[in-house]
Structure 1
Amino acid sequence: MYGRVVGTRWLTPGLLRLTLGGEGLDGFGMVDATDAYINVAIPPAGAEYGEIFDPREVRDSRPREQWPARRRYTVRRWDPELRLLEVDFVVHGVEGVAGPWAAAAREGTVLVFEGPAGGYRPDPEADWHLLVGDESALPAIAASLDALPEGALGVVRLVCDGPEHEIDLRSPGRLDLRWLHRTGSPSDADLLLDSLREIAFPRGRMHAFVHGEADEIRGIRRHLLIDHGYQRSEMSCSPYWRRHMTDEAWREVKRDFVTAMEDEVA
């Protein structure tokens, strides 16, 4: 499956929204999840195949250096009537693969992908909702806030690089929203966890979405399960990336990291 870029919009200095359309989306069907993601395929520079390709076929028939880089990106919004798909990309200059590709995308640029898939949606029966993360989780958190039941309490803690990296977040629910700003010090890794330690958690059943940097998420998960006694079934908790690791290096160890994280507090 593929889409062609029909619009680009910088939401912040580091967050770029691409709007995809075209005939390649004719078979697209959205899943019932606010963390729905697509698995994009970014070909290397000078790839010896066309802009529209089958990632599996390329892997089977081409040398490894020709394989596309695979990354997961959240579907921010899907308009089934207009057949338009919005995907937000975190861009850190020339770092990484997908970010620089997105920054260079222009009208007509093709994005090949598979999916969508997903597993989280705010539970309408929960008494309150906790949503915690960084820029990598922001699209899913924003989509989840759109889906909160009217009047439902959403406690949101987000970390970013400064005020210019904040975006306007709205919801039918009641928001307790706080942005936390990195300073460049080692203590940045504790911002989210420390902010949760300051919260007087509301009574009732919580449903949580906690996604972002691996070690930060691991600490928050431990805090919710051990210090507050919540159950694993009450939260969606996953590491998207890991500090000081490239995407490729993280992908190689992620499975073992997640297994160790889950075994730590079963």
Structure 2
Amino acid sequence: MPRPRVPHNFIVQRTQRLTDHLIRVHLGGPAFDTFQPSGFTDAYVKLQFPGPDGDTVRTYTVRSIDPAAREIAIDFVYHGDEGVAGPWAAAAQPGDPLTMFGPGGAYAPRPEADWHLLAGDDSALPAIAAACAALPADARGRVFVEVGSAADELDVDRPAGVTLTWVHRGDAAPGENLVAAVRAEPWPDGRVQVFIHGEAQAVMHTLRPYIRKERGVPADWASVSGYWRLGRTEEGFRTWKRELSDQEGEPVGGRS
């Protein structure tokens, strides 16, 4: 779903250090009145970070919206000085401004699915957690999340019939252990709805063929795409996705 190009000028209310590598920023202020939720659990926004060489735009998932507090929460993966958004989140203070565009989105759990498969890495954890919270109480499903180590695990609210497996990356390449875990999981009977996002090489070249071809999940029941690409900036990743879409003759999906 295309994102509206309407700026929302939010103000940082507070921040939370969830783990050593994950920071939650709560945004509020008058812009809360202009922000219209998309209705999707993978709702994403474009965040505009000012810098000495001009503004830098990065894409992030809305983790939650709190109408009572009039706040939007966004989780940032943080690895020291690496990147633009993570260091900004680590240094953010109440009162700091942040311009946002959106939201877009395309996925939400279907209540008529017999079971759900959700998988991804740190970058997909906010969308996965939001989807788990939106599942019906009687939902069945399998969830796999790849993180650096046990120190990066979080509590994720989910129905009793949904199992969660934390996959530790360790020294493996991003997505390598996630791919192995998903492929090794027994495949239940019934119609499945799939949401898999993360490092593009692992997701697009390995898990998407497994889901679409080996398991036969139709495109409208499978949201499978990359959120990022190892070794590429977001601008470079968008170019990579366009090239892949041209090669395959169909849209590759995901945030754009």
Residue 81 of structure 1, CA deviation? 2.8
- Show the counterpart of 1:195: 181
Does the alignment pair 1:6 with 2:24? no
Q: What TM-score do you get using the length of structure 1 for normalisation?
A: 0.87
CA distance in 2, matches of 1:134, 1:262: 27
Once residues 185 and 200 of structure 1 are traced to their aligned partners in structure 2, the CA distance between those partners, rounded to angstroms, is 23
Residue range with higher mean Cα deviation, 188-197 or 123-132: 188-197
1:58 counterpart residue number: none
Match of 2:129 in 1: 142
Local SS of the residue matching 1:168: coil
Aligned partners of 1:131 and 1:156 also within 8 Å: yes
2: distance between equivalents of 1:98 and 1:258? 27
d(CA) in 2 for partners of 1:114, 1:254? 21
Q: Which of 65, 83, 86 is residue 99 of structure 1 equivalent to?
A: 86
Paired with 2:249 and 2:120, the residues of 1 have a C-alpha distance of: 19
Amino acid at match of 1:103: A
Counterpart amino acid of residue 199 in structure 2: E
| Larger Rg, first or second structure (1 or 2) | 1
Match of 1:250 in 2: 237
Alpha-carbon distance in structure 1 between the residues aligned to 2:31 and 2:175: 40
What does residue range 12-161 of structure 1 map to in structure 2 within 5 Å? 12-45=19-52, 65-66=53-54, 68-161=55-148
Distance apart, 1:120 and its partner CA: 0.5
Which residue does the alignment assign to 2:5?
none
Which stretch shows the higher mean deviation, 71-80 or 166-175?
A: 166-175
The number of residue pairs the alignment matches comes to: 244
- Indicate which of 194, 198, 201 corresponds to 1:208: 194
> CA 1:262–1:160 in structure 2 vs 1: closer, same or farther (change >3 Å)?
farther
In structure 2, list runs of 5 or more residues that go unmatched. Answer: 1-7
**Which aligned segments of 4 or more residues in structure 1 are displaced greater than 6 angstroms?**
none
Partner SS for 1:254: helix
CA distance in 2, matches of 1:161, 1:31: 31
Cα distance in 2 for partners of 1:191, 1:258 equals 26
CA contact (8 A) 2:116 2:140 kept: yes
In the TM superposition, residue 264 of structure 1 has moved relative to its aligned partner by 11
SS of equivalent residue, structure 1 residue 248:
helix
Are 1:207 and 1:235, in contact at CA under 8 Å, matched by a contact in 2?
yes
Supply the RMSD in Å over aligned alpha carbons: 1.8
Displacement of 1:173: 4.9
Determine the structure 2 residue equivalent to 1:234: 221
Q: CA deviation at 1:23?
A: 1.4
In structure 1, the partner of 2:166 is 179
> What SS is found at the alignment partner of 2:35?
coil
In 1, Cα distance between equivalents of 2:111 and 2:160 = 11
- Specify the SS of the correspondent of 2:162: strand
For residue 201 of structure 1, what is the amino acid of its counterpart?
Answer: W
Q: CA deviation at 1:144?
A: 0.2
| Structure 2 counterpart of 1:220, from 207, 213, 218 | 207
Letter in 1 for 2:19: T
The one-letter code of the counterpart of 1:212 is G
Distance 1:103 1:27 in 2: 26
Q: Which sections of structure 1, spanning at least 5 residues, go unmatched? A: 46-64
Percent of aligned pairs sharing the same letter: 41
SS at match of 1:215: helix
Change beyond 3 A, Cα 1:224–1:25: same
CA displacement, residues 68-108 of structure 1 (integer Å, 9 cap, x when unaligned): 11111111111123211111111121111111111111111
